[in-house]
Structure 1
Amino acid sequence: MQGSALPEPRRSGLPRWLWLPAAVGAAFIAVPVGAMVEQVDWRHFGSLISTESSRDALRLSLETSAMSTLLCVVIGTPMALVLARTRFPGQRVVRAVVLLPLVLPPVVGGLALLEAFGRRGLLGHTMDVLGIDIAFSTTAVVIAQTFVALPFLVISLEGALRTFGTRYDDVAATLGAAPTTVMRRVTLPLVGPAMTAGIVLCFARALGEFGATITFAGSLQGRTATIPVQIYLSFIDDSPQATALGVVLIGVAVVVIAVAGRRITGGTP
């Protein structure tokens, strides 16, 4: 009919039934966390988290997590680029090995590191002759955290690189840009949000790492006893410090994820 207004397009929405399993999933995470928060002895919270062992654990966790995250970026970014942008024999096997710590129990990862870098290990024996002792040191903590966190950066970055393809890289190369320039000015900025997400996941995973750390590095206060290790030791002693430190760890993780989430989404909810 001439002159009649076209009907406004309807906005696509989600089925209402999705709200129920979504709410169940949220409660599955929120209820245990809330229960732990409720059990904290808030009257003595300050004294529980300000002991020397607690301060040492928090400082060590933040320092080693930052170092292991930086190490993940340095070696994980080239790995993701090679896996996403090249083809070579045995690539699937290499990818499977790189992602193995995602499914490997952390304790098994710690045993593997001990067999490699321990005093009687594959590489550790030679290093011990040279006067280099890695196992049960702060360096061992960083290595253990990097071992379990590295796949998170690789898988995030490789997925983004495959999604965007190579069209922008090809255009830059056609205009005369060198491969390093293309990577620095085109490829990495394009996958910036994915890299940010990977870095956050690496830091969060490193901050919460326990199994590989205690197996490969031990539990020496000020040297290898990170917050998760200190929580475990306090839990064995049936100390209320375990719950208090658990809440601190949750708080740090929430802040990191919230800040990084705004970077990834551009400030949108």
Structure 2
Amino acid sequence: MAWRSRRAFLHPAMRWGIPSPHGFGWYIGALPLALFLSGPLLVLAFSLLQSSPWRAATSELVRQAFALTLKTSVGTTLVAIGAGTPLAYLLARRRFPGKALLEGLVELPVVIPPVAAGVLLLLTFGRRGALGPLLEGVGITLPFTPAGVIAAQLFISAPFYIRGARLGFMMVPRELEEAAAVDGASSLQILRHVTLPLAFPGLFSGLILCWARAVGEFGATYLFAGNMPGRTQTMPLAILSAMESDLGAALLLTGILTASAFATLLSAWWVMGRRGEPPLAL
């Protein structure tokens, strides 16, 4: 009855699910930006269908850039998981002096312009940087090497994994871990059978966002590792080179990067949506 009484006050069009006349203003106001954001994606899809850039898949530039991007992004993600998980757990579960400062420093690469991040990496790990001579003394050279690509990707993308993993650990009820401890489970067993499974949605969401950001990294990689085909030229850098000589290759690489970003978005929506939380709430 209450629902029917409220329904009686609705505009006649809204009773049947049709927007009222004044409601159309919101649709009209939302249309320009919606078209601006979705239009380039539709144009890209149309261009891929029209120009048949798939022939460029056999070019050396595309194959080398794709292989290098896949290897370095996977390597970056593995490093982020191995080194970022303990840090995320520490930030989620422990209190210590300087925690707020550490959190700010960890989050800072997310908002630093990538080109500025490249300058920071050169100042720190370059041959004349603060730690460059020390690293070269033990046989490690980062600038303009594949390892430098991973370093640049890691600096930019690792905060995304740490943030997701931290939120995942924060969502685990302490009561469940304490109950497992009372039942005689060891710390390792609690971590393996209670903490990690419950924190998995956050861990996985952070992982795919970290990987996607590593795949699309451009500015820091360009400054710190260079743009050498077959050595440090990832797909974003290859697009820059292909725009001057092979438009088909540039379109194909752009399509691959866009498709991977879309798949990442869907994965994050699916994982976080299953927990009833806002997707990509990182």
Fold match (TM-score > 0.5): yes
Deviates more, 1:90-99 or 1:175-184: 175-184
Superposition pairs for residues 229-240 of structure 1, below 5 Å?
229-236=237-244, 239-240=247-248
Structure 2: 5+ residue stretches without partners: 5-18, 277-282
Which of 107, 116, 119 lines up with 2:124 in the alignment? Answer: 116
1:127 is matched with: 135
Paired residues, what number? Answer: 258
- Aligned letter for 2:166? E
Query: Over aligned residue pairs, what C-alpha RMSD do you find?
Result: 2.9
Q: Distance in 2 between matches of 1:28 and 1:183?
A: 46
Can you list the C-alpha shifts for 1:48-100, whole angstroms capped at 9, x where unaligned? 23210111001111111111111111111111100011000000000000111
Q: Report whether the alignment pairs 1:106 with 2:108.
A: no
- Report the Cα offset of residue 130 of structure 1: 3.0
Q: Distance in 2 between matches of 1:245 and 1:154?
A: 28
Q: 1:184 to 1:240 in 2, by over 3 A?
A: same
1:3 is matched with: none
2:203 is matched with: 195
Deviates more, 1:34-43 or 1:117-126: 34-43
Which of 76, 79, 86 lines up with 2:84 in the alignment? Answer: 76
- Aligned letter for 1:35? V
Question: Do the aligned partners of 1:217 and 1:224 also contact (CA within 8 Å) in 2?
Answer: yes
Structure 1: 5+ residue stretches without partners: 1-5, 10-15
Deviates more, 1:98-107 or 1:110-119: 110-119
Question: Do the aligned partners of 1:41 and 1:240 also contact (CA within 8 Å) in 2?
Answer: no
2:99 is matched with: 91
- The 3-state SS of whatever aligns with 1:176 is coil
1:224 is matched with: 232
- The 3-state SS of whatever aligns with 1:164 is coil
Q: 1:190 to 1:37 in 2, by over 3 A?
A: same
Q: 1:23 to 1:53 in 2, by over 3 A?
A: same
Q: Distance in 1 between matches of 2:92 and 2:80?
A: 17
Which of 178, 184, 192 lines up with 1:176 in the alignment? Answer: 184
Q: Distance in 1 between matches of 2:2 and 2:158?
A: 52
TM normalised by structure 1 equals: 0.84
- Aligned letter for 2:167? G
2:160 is matched with: 152
- Report the Cα offset of residue 253 of structure 1: 3.0
Can you list the C-alpha shifts for 1:98-130, whole angstroms capped at 9, x where unaligned? 111111111111111111111111111112233
Q: Once the two structures are aligned, what percentage of the paired residues are identical? A: 35
- The 3-state SS of whatever aligns with 2:171 is helix
- The 3-state SS of whatever aligns with 2:185 is coil
Can you list the C-alpha shifts for 1:188-216, whole angstroms capped at 9, x where unaligned? 11011111111110111111110111111
Which of 56, 64, 67 lines up with 1:59 in the alignment? Answer: 67
